[in-house]
Structure 1
């Protein structure tokens, strides 16, 4: 008779069961894509019953949503965003914006499951993905509230720049992983190619912030010049030297 497994209580059993379901979702989406996420496949891969899935998650959609929330790069910032804003608000998130973009590139490139999730989001309107997309937008709004003041009064649009960088990251990674080809002569599957993209991200974000700073300085100088030009000049008054009345000629 082999050694008996230690019973760690119903809570631990429940946690292990839930994790088996979540692991099954990850395995299926990696091998078969989002189209393979059906109850039959999940039960088979997890080795568990549908009744257990319903007991722990309510239904398959809740299971999938829980999985995506646990994996999503942006949703993962939800618990940290308040502290990050406190740490980086002094420079309007300049360093934070750059590091978020570069870390997203690394995370998305290495995470096959999230690549499939983004493909799913691009190909199909799904209520689960819509809700998560809205949550990403709410998180982004909190971060933009920190960065926006730096760009007020300029024509530099940090939101549009961020949209292009993030979309570019998604496309570059998906193009590399599923087409196995170069993009503009850059191969991000190599260390050299990946570093080229990271340098470009740093340059884009740095130039974006610097351009806004320069425009604000120029606007300030222009307004100062206008103020000086419109200021009413004070007439010079001749100073008359004092002369005693005896020296004044009488007419």
Structure 2
């Protein structure tokens, strides 16, 4: 019985993502989700206490936002041999790659700019929690540059990435940079690396 419930819960969470991708927030309701999952809608109330609980479960369990582990892949936090600028650049590279392979996430980021609802609030909460965990990891490895506000730097750069990645679903160029093309994003990432080196290069290396 427990296994059947877990399977059905995952079906409903996955169906929530599919309804969002296909129809957007306006069509996100218990009937549409139950129909997509091919289960009785009463199970949404039984397992999640209604649509609100299901939306929270989707925000927390769905593949909506990259995890801290995904973003820290390739970052050496142990030996101390990897320069902080390189660590920051690696995290932002991972972030770009993670967003660009999540078209639904990019759609949600676009929707958030014009429409706020219960689901976007839950997704925002999950994103903020994961962002704080990542910022904490970055701050821990940047202790030798206490004069640099790593959290603010990460916020500025990640906000720019969010905006450009979301806009890439609707426009091709932003200030002459092709944000739909790998080459355009490589230009942006090179500039992020230059910014990181300028701000985070160890004083001993100057």
Which of the five TM-score ranges fits, normalised by the shorter chain? 0.7 to 0.9
Q: CA deviation at 1:87?
A: 2.9
State how far apart, in whole Å, the 2-side matches of 1:120 and 1:88 are. 41
RMSD across aligned positions (CA): 2.9
- Kindly tell me: are residues 28 and 186 of structure 1, through their superposed partners in 2, closer, same or farther at Cα, counting changes over 3 Å? same
- 2:133 corresponds to which of 134, 139, 151: 139
Structure 1 stretches of 4+ with a deviation exceeding 6 A read 78-81
Contact 2:68–2:134, Cα closer than 8 Å, also in 1: no
**Normalising by structure 2, what TM-score?**
0.80
State how far apart, in whole Å, the 2-side matches of 1:38 and 1:146 are. 42
- 2:154 corresponds to which of 148, 159, 162: 162
Q: CA deviation at 1:185?
A: 0.8
- Kindly tell me: are residues 56 and 115 of structure 1, through their superposed partners in 2, closer, same or farther at Cα, counting changes over 3 Å? same
1:35 aligns with 2:29: no
Deviations 1:8-33 (A, max 9, x none): xx344223312221221111111222
Counterpart for residue 229 of structure 1: none
- 1:172 corresponds to which of 164, 170, 181: 164
State how far apart, in whole Å, the 1-side matches of 2:182 and 2:127 are. 31
Counterpart for residue 194 of structure 2: 203
- 1:52 corresponds to which of 29, 34, 43: 43
Q: Which has the higher contact order (CA 8 A, sep 6+)?
A: 2
Number of aligned residues: 200
**Normalising by structure 1, what TM-score?**
0.67
Q: CA deviation at 1:165?
A: 1.0
List alignment gaps of at least 5 residues for structure 2.
none
Counterpart for residue 67 of structure 1: 58
Alignment of 1:227-246 (within 5 A): none
- Kindly tell me: are residues 41 and 197 of structure 1, through their superposed partners in 2, closer, same or farther at Cα, counting changes over 3 Å? same
Q: CA deviation at 1:34?
A: 2.5
- Structure whose alpha-carbon radius of gyration is higher: 1
Contact 1:105–1:169, Cα closer than 8 Å, also in 2: yes
State how far apart, in whole Å, the 1-side matches of 2:28 and 2:182 are. 33
Deviations 1:197-242 (A, max 9, x none): 22222222222212xx33x788xxxxxxxxxxxxxxxxxxxxxxxx
List alignment gaps of at least 5 residues for structure 1.
1-9, 219-251
- 1:150 corresponds to which of 129, 144, 149: 144
- Kindly tell me: are residues 171 and 205 of structure 1, through their superposed partners in 2, closer, same or farther at Cα, counting changes over 3 Å? same
Q: CA deviation at 1:45?
A: 1.4
